[in-house]
Structure formats: structure tokens, C-alpha cells
């Protein structure tokens, strides 16, 4: 049964456990052990990863554990993303309780990979947007004005009219102070990770503006046609 298999696994030494089981088996046992509310397995796993026995897991130990025990190939900067997810007090290291709490929430390699990938992409996006914002902010004022926005759009290889630039500035400038702060720029850029994705965001906005303009023109044309038809009808009625 699952319970007997779990207990048989738990009585082994940590080295025997990791030597005998691949990742998916470890995770299966981990799920069963969690049902039994047995902390011994997680404590032994923590001790195994904490190679220098200093009571916490640092980035290098976590990096080795992820690649060795989880069989997931990750770069050190990607592992740092994972460390920040586990490290609740953000002191740069993982204590025992933080590790146990995290293991109780993450039970499969796929779930772990999705978590790391999402956070990694978010960090890349934020770094790109911050870098781009500093480039567009030519006078280092901490904001982007209309002229700087015009230059930014041109540097991306896009062509917008002066009217479109004013509308784009108004669209990004959420607080209406006439300038774009970095957080406003980030919200508009969404999660663009490179210049091409940012261009796509601006082009998408441009298409929406074009559709709105065409819709307004159609509306005015219809209203004008109805007005003429109404006038003609009234004139014809009056003649009778």
C-alpha cells in the first residue's frame, strides 16, 4: 500500500533514499508523507541539501539540489528566482521552515518548472522595460514627455503622427500629469521582453485607435444621412 511504501522509504537513510529513487518517485513519496503529516522526510531532505550543515540553504546548495535531485537543468540566475519564491523573509537564504512550507505547496516538477519560468520571464520583462525606460528618458528626469516618446517610437522603427503621439501619451499617462512614469510605462508595455514585443504592443494600440476613428466616422456618416433623410421627409410632408 501507499502507507507501507512510504514508511519503508522513511526508515532509510537520506543517502539511501536519494540513491534509490528518481525525482518522480521522490515526489510520489513526498505526497504520501504529507498525507501522513510526517515532517521527517522533509527534514531529512533539507539536511541532505544543506551540505555545510549551517542550518540554511544558500543559492549554490539550491542550485546543486535542483540539478541533481530534481533533474531540472537551470542556470544560477534562474535558481535565484526560485530562491526568492521560497525565502519568505527575503534574507537571501532558505531556513528549514521556509523549505518545508514550500514543499507543502509544490508537489510536482512540472509545477515547479512553471513557477520558475513565470518568475524568470517576469524578471526579464521588468529588466528590459527598466532599461528601455532609462534610454527613452533622455534628460534623466524620471519621466518620459511627449518629445521623448516621439523619439522612443522612432527608435523602435515605428511611424506615428503628432496626433497619435499625443493620444499615445494620454493612453499611457494614467495619472494625467502629462508625463509617463516607469510604472505607467511598465503597465502599458505589459510583459514585453524585447523591442519586437514592445512594437507589437504599440501597433496593437494603433490598430485599436484606427478602429475607433473609423467607428466614429461611420457614426457621424449615419447620423448625417439620417438627418438629411429626416429633412427630406419633413420637406415632403410639408409640401403635401
Report the predicted TM-score, pTM, of the whole model to 2 decimal places.
0.52
Contacts of 134 (CB under 8 A, 6+ apart): none
Residue 112 has pLDDT above 80, yes or no: no
Burial class (CB in 10 A: 0-12, 13-18, 19+), 48: middle
pLDDT of residue 22: 41
- Say yes or no to pLDDT of 55 above 90: yes
Residue 71 banded pLDDT, cuts 50, 70, 90: low
Q: Does domain 124-239 have CATH number 1.10.238.10?
A: yes
Apex CA 135: angle with CA 134 and CA 141, to 5°?
50
CATH topology of domain 2-107: Recoverin; domain 1 (1.10.238)
Supply the pLDDT for residue 93: 92
What torsion, rounded to 10 degrees, do the Cα atoms 127, 133, 136, 141 define?
A: -130
SS (H, E, C) the chain: CHHHHHHHHHCCCHHHHHHHCCHHHHHHHHHHHHHCCCCHHHHHHHHHHCCCCCCEECHHHHHHHHHHCCCCCCCHHHHHHHHHHHCCCCCCCEEHHHHHHHHHHCCCHHHHHHHHHHHHHHHHHHHHHHHHHHHHCCCCCCCECHHHHHHHHHHCCCCCCHHHHHHHHHHHCCCCCCCECHHHHHHHHCCCCCHHHHHHHHHHHHHHHHHHHHHHHHHHHHHHHHHHHHHHHHHHHHHC
Q: What confidence tier does 196 reach under pLDDT thresholds 50, 70, 90?
A: confident
Weakest-pLDDT range from 138-152, 154-168, 188-202: 188-202
pLDDT for residue 191 is more than 60: yes
Instruction: Say how far apart CA 116 and CA 192 lie, in whole Å.
Output: 18
State the average pLDDT over residues 122-150.
Answer: 88
For residues 210 and 163, the answer to whether their CB atoms sit within 8 Å is no
Residues of the chain with CATH 1.10.238.10: 2-107, 124-239
**122 within 8 A of 61, measured Cβ to Cβ:** no
Amino acid at each position: 500500500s501507499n502507507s507501507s511504501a512510504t514508511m519503508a522509504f522513511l526508515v532509510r537513510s537520506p543517502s539511501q533514499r536519494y540513491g534509490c529513487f528518481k525525482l518522480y518517485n521522490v515526489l510520489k513519496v513526498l505526497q504520501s508523507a504529507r498525507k501522513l503529516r510526517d515532517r521527517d522526510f522533509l527534514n531529512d531532505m533539507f539536511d541532505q541539501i544543506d551540505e555545510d550543515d549551517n542550518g540554511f540553504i544558500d543559492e549554490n546548495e539550491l542550485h546543486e539540489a535542483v540539478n541533481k535531485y530534481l533533474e531540472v537543468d537551470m542556470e544560477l540566475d534562474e535558481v535565484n528566482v526560485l530562491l526568492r519564491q521560497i525565502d519568505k523573509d527575503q534574507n537571501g537564504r532558505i531556513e528549514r521552515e521556509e523549505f518545508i512550507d514550500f514543499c507543502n505547496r509544490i508537489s510536482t516538477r512540472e509545477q515547479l518548472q512553471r513557477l520558475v519560468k513565470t518568475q524568470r520571464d517576469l524578471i526579464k520583462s521588468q529588466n528590459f522595460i527598466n532599461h528601455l525606460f532609462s534610454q527613452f528618458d533622455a534628460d534623466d528626469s524620471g519621466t518620459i514627455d511627449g518629445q521623448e516618446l516621439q523619439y522612443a517610437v522612432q527608435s523602435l522603427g515605428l511611424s506615428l503622427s503628432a496626433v497619435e503621439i499625443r493620444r499615445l501619451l494620454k493612453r499611457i499617462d494614467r495619472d494625467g500629469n502629462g508625463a509617463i512614469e516607469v510604472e505607467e510605462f511598465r503597465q502599458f508595455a505589459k510583459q514585453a521582453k524585447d523591442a519586437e514585443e514592445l512594437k507589437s504592443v504599440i501597433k496593437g494600440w494603433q490598430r485599436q485607435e484606427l478602429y475607433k476613428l473609423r467607428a466614429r466616422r461611420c457614426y457621424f456618416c449615419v447620423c448625417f444621412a439620417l438627418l438629411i433623410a429626416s429633412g427630406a421627409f419633413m420637406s415632403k410632408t410639408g409640401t403635401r
